[in-house]
């Protein structure tokens, strides 16, 4: 059985960022399947967390298995799942208008809200939820802006500005959200990183225990962990790891408890 590093021995459970930490695109980060297996062998509980609301959790489970990492649906916390958790606890029974994928609409419906999309009353919905999508029409932005203008609770999965692709940035959730916010003159409550809700939902799944968050971004993973009152470790395996915005500790930036080249080095040692 692989020995864990002293750092990981001191935690009961870990929340792992997916993109840039467990995998990069369609490939696992080198050593991450072995690191996850070692954590589980040592009795540590593992959850996977992602700001991605485009794909349902089932897709992430499939990707993990394809890379040799065992996972069940309950192990994967997407920002859509975190939105569902928050809405179910605070806004069940209300009407909602959703900009986003079918996966996000399903999460909102499963939280007990009544979807007003495709009805004449959509612009009077009590809750507006905005997420990323590549299926967007001006009518969607108009309907959401009107509902927010009329006083709807306004939530969004993230402010992530772009989807990095090989050809460059594609407009992300934050770009779509900016259109609604600009028109309506109000700012949305964010559920994804760097806000803490994604990790609160992960803790709800994992249960009590000393928890370490592992991610590849200071301004997202480490900041969200700090907001949730959790320790975080930074790995330098993400895209653009060399250009992470600023140094830890500068300007009140959150400070990770450890840094490593990748998840394997963090968990198993160099």
Shortest distance, CB of residue 20 to Mg ion, whole angstroms? Answer: 4
Tokens of 200: 């609160």
Q: Are 230 and 199 in contact (CB under 8 A)?
A: yes
78: nearest Cα among 100, 108, 106, 56: 56
Residues 159-218 binding Mg ion (CB under 5 A) are 216
For residues 214 and 235, give the distance between their C-alpha atoms in angstroms, rounded to a whole number. 7
Q: State residue 102 phi and psi, 5-degree precision.
A: -60, -35
Shortest distance, CB of residue 48 to Mg ion, whole angstroms? Answer: 11
Helix/strand/coil for 251:
helix
150: nearest Cα among 158, 162, 142: 142
Shortest distance, CB of residue 32 to Mg ion, whole angstroms? Answer: 12
Residues 11-70 binding Mg ion (CB under 5 A) are 17, 19-20
Residues in contact with Mg ion, counted by CB under 5 A, come to a total of: 4
The crossing angle, in degrees rounded to 10, of helices 102-110 and 79-90 is 30
Shortest distance, CB of residue 223 to Mg ion, whole angstroms? Answer: 12
> Between residues 160 and 216, which has the closer beta carbon with respect to Mg ion?
216
Shortest distance, CB of residue 21 to Mg ion, whole angstroms? Answer: 5
Task: Report the residue number whose CB is nearest to Mg ion.
Answer: 20
Residues taking part in catalysis: 17, 19
- Residue count of the chain, please give it: 270
What residues contact residue 262 under an 8 Å CB cut-off, 6+ apart?
29, 30, 31, 32, 235, 236, 237
For residues 98 and 50, give the distance between their C-alpha atoms in angstroms, rounded to a whole number. 20
Q: State residue 254 phi and psi, 5-degree precision.
A: -65, 150
> Between residues 77 and 96, which has the closer beta carbon with respect to Mg ion?
77
Residues 220-249 binding Mg ion (CB under 5 A) are none
> Between residues 180 and 223, which has the closer beta carbon with respect to Mg ion?
223
Interface residue list for Mg ion (CB under 5 A): 17, 19-20, 216
């Amino acid at each position: 059985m692989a020995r864990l590093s002293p750092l990981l021995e001191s935690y009961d459970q870990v929340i792992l960022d997916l993109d840039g930490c467990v995998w990069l695109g369609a490939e696992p980060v080198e050593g991450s399947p072995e690191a996850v297996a070692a954590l589980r062998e040592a009795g540590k509980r593992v959850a996977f967390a992602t700001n991605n609301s485009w794909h349902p959790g089932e897709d992430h489970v499939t990707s993990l298995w394809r890379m040799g990492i065992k996972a069940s649906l309950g192990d994967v916390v997407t920002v859509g799942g975190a939105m569902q958790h928050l809405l179910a606890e605070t806004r069940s029974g209300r009407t909602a208008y959703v900009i986003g994928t079918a996966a996000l609409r399903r999460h909102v419906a499963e939280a007990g809200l009544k979807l007003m999309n495709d009805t004449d009353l959509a612009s009077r919905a009590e809750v507006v939820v905005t997420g990323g999508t590549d299926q967007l029409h001006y009518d969607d932005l108009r309907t959401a802006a009107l509902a927010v203008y009329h006083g709807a609770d306004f939530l969004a999965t993230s402010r992530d500005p772009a989807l990095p692709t090989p050809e460059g940035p594609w407009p992300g959730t934050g770009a779509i959200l900016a259109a609604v916010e600009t028109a309506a003159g109000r700012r949305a409550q964010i559920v994804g990183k760097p806000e803490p809700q994604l990790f609160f939902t992960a803790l709800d799944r994992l249960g009590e225990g000393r928890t370490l968050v592992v991610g590849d971004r200071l301004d997202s993973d480490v900041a969200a962990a700090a907001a949730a009152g959790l320790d975080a470790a930074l790995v330098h395996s993400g895209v653009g790891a060399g250009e992470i915005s600023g140094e830890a500790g500068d300007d009140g930036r959150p400070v990770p408890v450890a840094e490593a080249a990748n998840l394997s080095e963090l968990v198993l040692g160099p």
